[in-house]
A and B are shown apart, each in its own frame.
Chain A
Amino acid sequence: MLCDVCKKNEATVHLTQIVENKMQTIDLCEGCSKAKGVDDPTGFSLASLLVGLGVSQEESTASATTPATEPSEELRCGTCGFTAADFKKAGRLGCPDCYQTFAEQLEGLLKTMHKGTKHTGKIPGSHPARDVAEQVRELQTLLEQAVQTEDFERAAVLRDEIKKLKAQPNPVRTA
């Protein structure tokens, strides 16, 4: 079996991952596995390797409703000058604003790589979205308590409040 990256050497490192019931496999030679950081305990993920090889991208375009991403090849980030072609080559983005520039291309990719496409974790203290997220979290705790004590009336009220908060567009802090 030949290495998926250099297509020259015999592959000795075989990686398999199952993400959302889809099996992804990759075979690497010793040299490429080192070069790709497969031996780096913190840095490596199969998905990132696949990005570099364009595998995930093909998969994601196949599953997305929009057809091939041809015209976007010329797309260029206004902040850092990074292009879609650069992304295909490097598998990394140029700057934080690239997420906006390449939002369309990334959408499908993020869907294949991750559990969801919306951040549900920590929010920096200074971020306006923090207030809402905190409130939602607090209400959710109360909701759980209400359900546990079988206070369903209260649970229904809390559920509505959470729904309302979540539906709000991102509030801008006025202070």
Chain B
Amino acid sequence: MTLDSFLASPSDAAKRSGPNDRIVLSSRVRLARNLRGFPFPGWAKKGDRLKSLEIIREAVSGLPQMENAFAEAMDNLNPLDKQILVERHLISREHAAKTVGSGLVISKDESLCVMINEEDHLRMQALRPGLQIRQLWQVMDEFDSALEKKLDLAFNSKLGYLTACPTNVGTGIRVSAMLHLPGLVLAEQVNQIIQAVNKLGFAVRGLYGEGTEALGNVFQVSNQMTLGEGEIEIVERLSKVVAQLIEHEENARQKQIEKSPKTVLNHIGRAYGILANAHSISSKETMNLLSLMRLGIDLGLFPGTDRNLMDELFLITQPAHLQKNYTEKLSAEERDLLRADMLRDRLLKVSRPIPRFPGAEGTTLDKPASP
């Protein structure tokens, strides 16, 4: 089966929903595991990598969770397929660069994905829309317990699960949530919040790692420490932090509407104007403007338009998803033209934003900044 026929269409993928997905785009729990008696993938010779790949692939594919899964060796996937998987957040960029001796298995519903011979022999992750960290830990725990019956995993009682990088040793768990925080960015509070979250031992980074100025106002929060703290503690602490971030984001949005309604309307109106009328637009600008339109939908400025449409556009305007529709290799400039064409076409049915927030009367001006 080809990857293309296996994966859900972008529009179906965007329709998946979960609790709090107005702000939490997705949650993820990843476990790192290794086989005893094999060098880690980065140090292993090709023969060892092929052997471990075969052992793991067979064990993983045999689990009931992986019935009708997509299982493939990385050298059988073309660069475009790999990039599509990265854009779907199913594999890491690091894994996309792998070839002989690495592989992947993706469950039918795409909520489970196992990367074989990435940095560790096994990187297995459960991914779902919205805030579902606790449930995902249960899913992963069960999956891991089933798998450990078939594999001899590297574990010692002092250091826990042994991983290629000492930063993952112990539980080998990385719990993360991807958050859409345009309110905190507009309120210029996001850096403060990031520092507070850092102090709790969690990392915050942008969707594509541009430091604190995250593309599309999307931020990832994840645990850093994996030793000396149990999985449940980590999951609980992160869940609490995410719940607080949701509250801060909602408050920031509310405050911005009250304090600077014109500024917010201006941002959203311009975002719509450019997206619906541009003839050339980069992927980066697209993400930032779609984020503002998504905010506009959340705030009731686009009656009748569904948030799913923004999530779909967010996905299909990314380079590999765009390229997929064309047989000839596109240059970045060509992609910018075709991306703009697609956006104009898809936004044809979306009416321009209403001129005031639902419930607000007349023209409200921004309040002067208080000292």
Contacts and interface: CB of A to CB of B under 8 A. Distances in A.
Partners in one complex: yes
Contacts of B222: 41-42
Contacts of B225: 19, 113-115
Contacts of A121: 160, 170-171, 173, 229-231
A90 B37 CA distance: 20
B39 A94 contact: yes
Given A94-B40, A95-B43, A99-B162, A51 B93 contact: no
Given A15-B205, A15-B211, A19-B201, A120 B230 contact: yes
A109 interface: yes
B228 A120 contact: yes
Contact of A41 (B40, B89, B145, B156): B89
Chain A interface category by residue count: 35 or more
A115 B228 contact: yes
A124 B161 CA distance: 9
Contacts of B159: 99, 110, 118-119
A116 interface: yes
B320 to A, nearest CB: 15
B153 interface: yes
A20 B93 CA distance: 30
A6 interface: no
Interface stretch (B12-20, B28-36, B264-272, B325-333): B28-36
Interface in A100-157: 106, 109-110, 113-127, 129
A51 B166 contact: yes
Nearest to B224: A45
B30 A42 contact: yes
B94 A37 contact: yes
Nearest to A115: B228
Interface string A29-40: 000011001111
Interface string B213-234: 0000000101011111111000
A99 B94 CA distance: 24
A42 B176 contact: yes
A34 B93 contact: yes
A41 B220 contact: yes
Interface in B151-188: 153-162, 164-167, 169-171, 173-174, 176, 178
Interface of A: 12-20, 33-34, 37-48, 51, 80, 82, 86, 90-96, 99, 106, 109-110, 113-127, 129, 170
State the 6 A-B residue pairs at the shortest beta-carbon distance, nearest first: A116-B228, A119-B160, A39-B209, A96-B154, A115-B228, A114-B227
